[in-house]
Amino acid sequence: MNSKKKRTLANPNPRNPMQAFHFLRSLSRINLSTAPFHKRCRAIRRAAYASMARSASPNRAWSHAVLYQLHRRRRRPVPVQARCKTHQNDALRRLLPGGEAMDTCRLLEETIDYVQRLRTQVKLMQEIVDSVKDDAVHEEKRQKEEN
Partner 1 sequence: MSSRRSRSSRQAASSSRITEQQVRELVSKLQTLLPGQPPLNNDNDTASTSRVLREACNYIRSLHKEVDNLSERLSELLQNTDNDTELEAVLRRLLM
CA angle 122, 64, 56 (to 5 degrees): 45
Residue 28 class from Cβ within 10 Å (0-12 exposed, 13-18 middle, 19+ buried)?
Answer: exposed
63 vs 111 by CB, closer to partner 1 = 111
Does position 69 bind partner 1 by CB under 8 A?
no
Using CB under 8 A, pick the residue from 13, 19, 22, 48 that binds partner 1: 48
Task: State the amino acid at position 83 in one-letter form.
Answer: R
d(CA 10, CA 63): 25
Helix%, strand%, coil% for the chain, nearest 5: 65, 0, 35
Does position 67 bind partner 1 by CB under 8 A?
no
CB of 72 to partner 1, least distance (A): 19
Interface contacts to partner 1, rule CB under 8 A: 6, 8-9, 11, 20-21, 24, 27-28, 32-33, 37, 40-42, 44-45, 48-49, 88-89, 91-92, 95-96, 103-105, 108-109, 111-112, 114-116, 118-119, 121-122, 125-129, 131-133, 135-136, 139
